[in-house]
Amino acid sequence: MPRTLQPLCDHVATFGDRTAIVAMQRGEREEWSFSKLASHARRLSAGLREAGLKTGEPVALLAEDSPEWIVAALAILRAGAVIAPLDVQFADEALEHVLQDSEARFLFTTARQLPRLRALKRAPRHVVLLDAPASEARSWRGLLADADTTKHAELPQVSPNDPAALFYTSGTTGPPKGVPLTHANLEFQLDALLHLDLLELDDRMLLPLPLHHVYPFVIGMLFPLRTGLTLVLPQSLTGPELVRALKEGRVTVILGVPRLYRALLDGLMTQVAAGGRLARLGFRAALGASKLLRRLGLRVGRRLLGSVHERLGPRVRVVVSGGAALDPDLAWALEALGWRLGTGYGLTETAPMLTLGRPGAMRIGSVGRPLPGVQIRIAAVETDEDRKPARNGRRTKGTASAGDTPVALAHGQSGEIQARGPNVFIGYRGLPERTAEAFTEDGWFRTQDLGRFDARGWLHVEGRTSELIKTESGEKVQPEDLEKKLQGSPAVREVAILQYEHKLVALAVPAGAAQRDGADAGAAVGAAVQEHARHLPSYARITAVAVTREPLPRTRLGKLRRHLLPELYKSAQRGDGGARRGGAPMDVAAMAAEDQALLEHPAVRQTWDMLAEHHPQARLTPDSNLQLDLDVDSMEWLNVTFEIRRRAGVELRDDVLARLETVRDLLRAVSEAGPHAGPRASPLDEPEKALTPEQRRWLAKAGAPRRFAQRVAWAVNRVVLRLLFRVHAEGLENIPPTGAVLLTPNHSSYLDAPLVAAVLDTERLRRTWWATFTGLTAAGFLGHAVARLGRMLPIDQEHGAASGLVSGLVALKRGQTLVWFPEGQLTRDGELQEFKPGVGLLLQRVPVPVVPVWIEGSFAAFPKGRSLPRLRRIRVIFGKPIEAEALNVHGSDAEAAGRIARALRQRVAALGRRSATPAAAHGSSAASGA
pLDDT over 80 (residue 563): no
Q: Name, of 189-198, 431-440, 567-576, 642-651, the range with top average pLDDT.
A: 431-440
pLDDT of residue 897: 77
pLDDT over 80 (residue 209): yes
pLDDT of residue 838: 80
Can you tell me the distance from the alpha carbon of 685 to that of 92, in angstroms, rounded to the nearest whole number? 52
| pLDDT digit string, tens, across residues 110-130 | 998 898 898 888 889 999 999
Can you tell me the distance from the alpha carbon of 257 to that of 261, in angstroms, rounded to the nearest whole number? 7
Average pLDDT, the chain: 81
pLDDT over 50 (residue 786): yes
pLDDT over 60 (residue 446): yes
pLDDT of residue 1: 41
pLDDT of residue 675: 44
Contact predicate 755/876, CB 8 Å: yes
Share of the chain above pLDDT 90, in %: 40
In the predicted model, what is the mean pLDDT of residues 408-416? 75
pLDDT of residue 401: 31
pLDDT of residue 609: 87
pLDDT of residue 800: 44
Contact predicate 327/484, CB 8 Å: yes
Count other Cβ atoms within 10 Å, centred on residue 582: 12
pLDDT of residue 518: 47
Cα torsion 12, 15, 16, 18 to 10°: value is: -110
Quickly state the pLDDT bin for 380 (edges 50, 70, 90).
confident
Count other Cβ atoms within 10 Å, centred on residue 813: 14
Residues recorded for the chain: 930
Least confident segment among 5-14, 175-184, 196-205, 664-673:
664-673
Quickly state the pLDDT bin for 568 (edges 50, 70, 90).
confident
Quickly state the pLDDT bin for 475 (edges 50, 70, 90).
low
User: Of residues 587 and 773, which shows the higher confidence score?
Assistant: 587
| pLDDT digit string, tens, across residues 52-70 | 999 999 999 999 999 999 9
pLDDT over 60 (residue 571): yes
Give Cα 756 to chain centroid, integer Å: 39
Question: Residue 462: which H helix or E strand, with range?
Answer: strand 459-464
Least confident segment among 247-251, 401-405, 631-635:
401-405
Can you tell me the distance from the alpha carbon of 113 to that of 97, in angstroms, rounded to the nearest whole number? 16
Contact partners, residue 930, CB within 8 Å, separation at least 6 = 831, 832, 908, 909, 912, 913
pLDDT over 50 (residue 927): no
| pLDDT digit string, tens, across residues 867-882 | 788 998 999 999 999 9
Contact predicate 170/215, CB 8 Å: no
Helix (H, G, I), strand (E, B) or coil at 626: coil
Strand partners, 126: 106
Q: Which of 63, 78, 406 is nearest to 210 (CA)?
A: 63
Quickly state the pLDDT bin for 582 (edges 50, 70, 90).
very low
In the predicted model, what is the mean pLDDT of residues 192-216? 91
Q: Name, of 135-149, 249-263, 270-284, 691-705, the range with top average pLDDT.
A: 249-263
Strand partners, 882: 850
Helix (H, G, I), strand (E, B) or coil at 821: coil
Least confident segment among 232-236, 620-624, 633-637, 732-736:
633-637
